Every structure is written in C-alpha cells, then in structure tokens.
Chain A
Amino acid sequence: MITAERKPLEEILAYIKPFKRILLLGCNECVTVCAAGGRKEVGVLASGLQMSRLKDGSSIDIREHTLERQCDPEYVEELVPMIDSADAVLSMACGCGVQQLAMRFRDKPVFPAVNTKFMGGSDRHGVWTERCQGCGDCLLGLTGGICPIAKCAKHLMNGPCGGSAGGVCEIGDDVDCAWHLIWERLKALGLTDQYMEIMPAKDWRPAGGGGPRKIIREDLAE
C-alpha cells in the first residue's frame, strides 16, 4: 500500500487560512488502511480544524466526504454536485489523489493534508515499513524475496558494504542489513549460487530516471 502521515495541523491551517468553506476528502484505499486519511481520520481532522478556529473566535464550514478511491476519475466525478459549495479542497489521500482532484477541478485550490511516505507493508498493528521503491525492474526473484533497493540505504546490488556488522546496518541499530537478510534467506533456500552471480549496473530509467512513467495497456485503453 501507499503509506502516509497527517501533516502538522499548523501547516494545514496555514493552507486553508483564507477560506471559509472547505471540502475535506478522505480516501477508502491505502490511506484508510494505514490510518492516515480514511473516514475516521477525516472526522478527527475536521474536529481539530474546527476547534482551532473556534479557539480564535471564528468558525469554519467543513464538509466531510470519503471517496472509494481518489486516484480514479470515476470516483472523483462523485464530487461534482458538492464542489461548488466549497472554497477550497483539502485532501487526505496520497499525492496521486490530490493531483487527480487538482486536474479535475482546475478552478479550485486543492491542498494536501497528509505527507505521502512510501510503498510499504504492515509489520504489526500500527507499524508500517518500506518494502518497494517501484524501480520498474523487479529483482526480488534473484534476492530471495528481499529488496536491496527498498531495504538498503545505498541500493547496493552485489552484497553488503563495509557498514554491515552482525546483520545490522551502520545507519541505525534498528535497521537490518538487507544483504545480510538476503544471504540468510538464500542459504535457507539452498540458492546461494544466485548470490555469486554479479549483477550488472542497474538501469535506473524505469525507476523514474527517464522521466515520469506511464503504463498503457492497449487492450484496455480507449
């Protein structure tokens, strides 16, 4: 999933300062799962914003709504009947959702209420860790299902650096060395031969180095 965290209230308040009527939008997908921008978080933020204004002797008209998905035009279209009654839109979706709204409603200021973090998975309830950096050329088949790009700060392709000690990365005691994990996993799978193969220098163009990426499925695209 795409993970996110709410921005500091102060920053959000600064965005919406000139506006009286706000449409506050959540998203039912990734940001709901990582408890950053679903229906519940929309309610909590709306209440926080309202209290911040009440405390200063004013008030704000906040309409709360949560879309099934903010990154798809079909769902964004649902907002047409309510968009005119808002001076500005505040989105709790990831950056994809915010941009979808900004593209659809060009005359409306759209502000993000969360910081989009990374593509990750849940380790346990309330804890999410980065798993994928969307490099566009998946290596997991060669690395025992452990990503050296997402889990190694240096994105090393051929084993650990000198900063790996006792399975831990030099950047912090709570960071496992990705290549240590890969080696242990390959050993357990009896696939250490894979480790011995030298990986060529990675082509970073599919990772975004070649400009904004796009997928076109000829069979689906109209």
Chain B
Amino acid sequence: MKEQFEPVIVAFCCHYCAYTAADMAGSQRLVYPPNVKIIRVPCSGKVDSIHILKAFEKGADGVYVAGCLDGDCHFKNGNDKASRKVAQMMRYLEEIGIEPERLEMVKMSAGMGERFARIATEMTEKIRKLGPSPIKAAAA
C-alpha cells in the first residue's frame, strides 16, 4: 500500500527567484517529481499562515515556501519574514499533531534551476518516507 503512495506537495514559490528557477529547471531539461504543485506568489513574505494551514487541511502531505537567498529579497526582507512564519507554523503543526518536517522554508536564486529540481526531489522523497499526512491517513 505504502509503495503506491504519491505525496501531494504544495510549493509556494516567489516570482523573483524560485518560480523563475523552476522555469530554468525546465529549460535545462532537469527532471523533478510531478508531485510538487507550484503556487506563484509575488514574494515569499506574502505567504500567510492561513495559506500554509489550508494546504494541509485540504490534503497536502507536504508544503514548502521557496524564497530568495538571504539579503536578496526584491522587497527587502520578505524572505526573512517568510522564514519566521514557517518556523512559527512548524510549531503550530506540532501542536495540531502533524509532523513539523512536512513544512519547510528553502531559499534559492532565479538562476538555480538545478537547486530547484534537487529540492523538489528531496522534499518528495522525504514526504514519501513520512507517508500520508495524518489527516489523509485518518480519512482513508
């Protein structure tokens, strides 16, 4: 049963870095798992706690927020804010009873197509090992 599990992963990607890096990965013909569903945001700092929670509530097995490298945010410090928000939501997920490692903050530049593909692959593997989210598991 577990072999058939294909995780659903939501990636909130900043328009100025990770989203472009995903494009770059495509141009470079790099393969990354189709489990990752990308949501483009104008800045990682725009991702709200409720967006992360709703993703999990509606069935995501993993979520990550991808922002610019430290000091490179197009809006000065949106990536720092996103990091703090993700850390706060990880604590909240733990309170809820969902493994906090299902959520992650990653940083990259627009030129890092290879890094984008690698993170998508690693996240998919990590969540595959963790299994379905406790919410999905309870519904099954």
Please report A residues at the B interface, Cβ cutoff 8 Å. 8-10, 40, 43-44, 47-48, 50-52, 54-57
Contacts and interface: CB of A to CB of B under 8 A. Distances in A.
Contacts of B134: 55
B95 A55 contact: no
B57 interface: yes
Nearest to B136: A54
Nearest to B88: A44
Given A8-B95, A10-B95, A52-B97, A57 B53 contact: no
A43 B139 CA distance: 22
B125 interface: no
Interface in B37-86: 48-50, 53-54, 56-57
A44 B57 CA distance: 11
A48 B95 contact: yes
Contacts of A8: 95
Contacts of A10: 95
A93 to B, nearest CB: 19
A48 B53 contact: yes
Interface in B106-140: 134-135, 138-139
Interface residues of B, number: 16
Contacts of A54: 57, 135, 138-139
A44 B92 contact: yes
B135 A40 contact: no
B87 interface: no
A166 B49 CA distance: 42
Contact of A55 (B48, B49, B50, B135): B135
28 contacts: A8-B95, A9-B92, A9-B95, A9-B96, A40-B48, A40-B49, A43-B53, A44-B50, A44-B53, A44-B92, A47-B50, A47-B53, A48-B53, A48-B95, A48-B96, A51-B56, A51-B96, A51-B97, A51-B98, A51-B135, A52-B97, A54-B135, A54-B138, A54-B139, A55-B134, A55-B138, A57-B138, A57-B139
